[in-house]
Structure 1
Amino acid sequence: MQFGYSELCLAHDPGSRHPESPDRLRAIRERLKKKHGVEYVESDSCELDTMAAVHERAYLESVREFCDDGGGSWDPDTTAVEETWDAARQSAGLACWAAEQALEGATGRETPFSIGRPPGHHAVYDNAMGFCFVNNVAVAAQHALDHDEYDVDSVAIIDWDVHHGNGTQDIFYDRGDVFFVSLHEKELYPGTGAIDEIGDGDGEGTTMNVPMPAGTDDAEYLAALEGPITAALTDFDPDLLLISAGFDAHRHDPISRIRLSTEAYALMSDRVRSLADDTDAALAFVLEGGYGLDVLADSVAIVHETFDGREPIEPDDDELGDNAESVLEDVLEAHDLEPELGD
């Protein structure tokens, strides 16, 4: 894979006790040293006008001023330092780079994966929250839609971070040209992402939330991807598919209760690759969360291995628990879909 990366993203340092630390990127880089075919690319930083296509300009300017004044605690979870504004611009720029590379034909072993930080999917139109200042994947999606050279009419975003991507949902909730899917742990921070949140106005039906119960495992996440998510996005037929790739649903991540294995990320990568192929969509990945350094690094590495030719190992047991199966049935009903679920 091609990994979008910049040392500038290390300068955002919210403190040694904060889970969203520069060590996340250092761990990923260290793990990828052992892998064949890894390429790093540094993009331009994102311009204010590009970010203002999905964020209130006054809000962005307030973040810049906050950082110029030395930063501090924006809210109890979200901390900035003087360098955070530049890191956020770079992180958004890397996400745009990933979208551009995909749309210019990068695929297979060249599939782009932006590993910028701070992450973005909690940043709403006019505010920062949940470690996020600029919604990187939303900026990238809008960037693709706004450039005639790419001929993009529709974008799909699959967010498999364990937390609901409330910011991305907020930005595109009434839009019909972006289909947002969030596969997350039910009732975890920020407490949004119910099944009946399906969009509004022109966007009615183009938001899909799949809030999985604590304890959900590999087979149940795969059933969500193969069932309602694939059915909905096949009908939507996007030109670009972006993955908000958080890795905090791993069973060894310290802040969640979903029970995914490292292999699950290979399997999910394989499924979204097939979905992109079937819909003739360009495909790119954008890093979100993941706070156990070893499992974050292992999970990113196995995504790379999947695109480098490794065949994922299917789970031995594909039986769905009653609670997870009930969630998927409710999602199907909310979106008037009828694909088959697992046995």
Structure 2
Amino acid sequence: MRYIGNKENLVDRIFLEMEKRNILGTSIFDVFSGTTSVAKFFKEKNYKIISNDLLYFSYVLQQAYISNNTIPIFDKININFESNMFEDRLSSVLRILDELPPVSGFISKNYTPDYTQNLDIPRMYFTTENGDFIDKVRIAIQEWYEQNKITKHEYYILIACLIETVPYYANISGVYGAFHKKWDPRALKKMHLKPINILINQHENQVFNSNSINLIKTDRNLQADIFYLDPPYNQRQYAPNYHLLETIAKYDNPVIKGVSGMREYTDQKSNFCNVNTAINELDDIVKYGNFRYLVMSYNSEGIIPKEALLDILSTYGQMSFVEFDYLRYKSNKRKSANKMIKEQLFFLEKKI
């Protein structure tokens, strides 16, 4: 999934740097989980995973990838799974959802141009056909769950499949704060659901949808060998950038406003998007966090100066630092911008 700060292409390097410093364990807390790239990586290495994020769509992904530890069987869905022996059960259910008749619901009526012609700028996030597709799938999943035709984990897995599918057909540069005024060729393609990978390990993993510092301060049983921090780096809040994924995940018919049809996100603002509150919040996480090692990802354009991060972390134990070049996030279209940016990794072994 296209996501600001996604560590999918960096997590191997992060783990290599951890191994160099003998930062190992059996459990890890992914404090700002986002698309769960880091949590998934460590789950596949059979770490016990704790993950958290303020955004609900991230919580859906956490439930599907991290909390779930079984292959979904969908035994209450009336499907002849034996009719296609080469298709797993999840793919069979997604095919049924694909083939449902279209429904014009909240997404289609608010984020496609045919239904928003009354606006000064009609919204072009999806074609009407794909908007109807999203609505029919999300409504069917909700109905199945309320009718006890799918389990809780099957419910989250199916929504996660929809969330992972949507970015491939959205008429955007990478985030949902704005849409293209002309159709991107991929947005004109007919939508089909993509199955997610089911990950299984040997632990009872925990997932949360909470403010990280509140969680750390209030749940004193929350502990892990390693805390991994990948907080926001700049003043741009994540909630408005991914408001549409949030609405698809919740499907709660929110009050929306503005050219982009933004939902209210006051309760989802991160303190890491302001330099002063970010410094205070980081200090609290390190102070109150129950861990042996802390690994923090940041970058050279972050609002907290490297020196300030080094000062905070070194107060609490022995630390080290490394940085290396990587490709800038693709949605940044500044022509003058350097294509490369420096990933900064901070490592702390906390004083006992």
TM-score (norm 1): 0.33
